[in-house]
């Protein structure tokens, strides 16, 4: 359940990030403003990476890997600091 909620949040944030990248403004309310800030901080590439990590985590949970280890790895992937190129 928590994984599904995280996926929904990341999908919404990705939509907002892509709308902003296209030069449009997302709907304006308090929740949308927080979501826009989150989307702007991560950007479309990191949001996509996070969604892929969630899909991997869901697969691992389906294979009965310990949930604690899966969540720890998932958070490690999502919260990693991007390296400068």
Tell me the pLDDT tens digit for each residue of 29-75: 778 888 888 998 999 999 999 999 999 999 999 999 999 999 999 99
Tokens coding 12? 């919404």
Cα→Cα distances 66→5, 34, 62, 74, Å: 20, 33, 10, 12
Other CB atoms within 10 A of residue 46 CB: 19
Asked if 48 and 14 touch (Cβ cutoff 8 Å), the reply is: yes
Q: What 8-state DSSP symbol labels residue 59? A: H
Query: pLDDT band for position 26 (50/70/90)?
Result: low
């Amino acid at each position: 359940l928590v994984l599904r909620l995280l996926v929904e949040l990341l999908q919404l944030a990705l939509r907002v990030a892509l709308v902003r990248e296209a030069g449009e403004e997302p709907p304006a309310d308090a929740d949308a403003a927080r979501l826009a800030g989150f989307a702007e901080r991560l950007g479309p590439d990191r949001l996509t990476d996070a969604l892929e990590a969630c899909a991997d985590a869901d697969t691992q949970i389906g294979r009965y890997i310990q949930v604690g280890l899966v969540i720890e790895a998932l958070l490690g992937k999502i919260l990693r600091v991007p390296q400068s190129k």
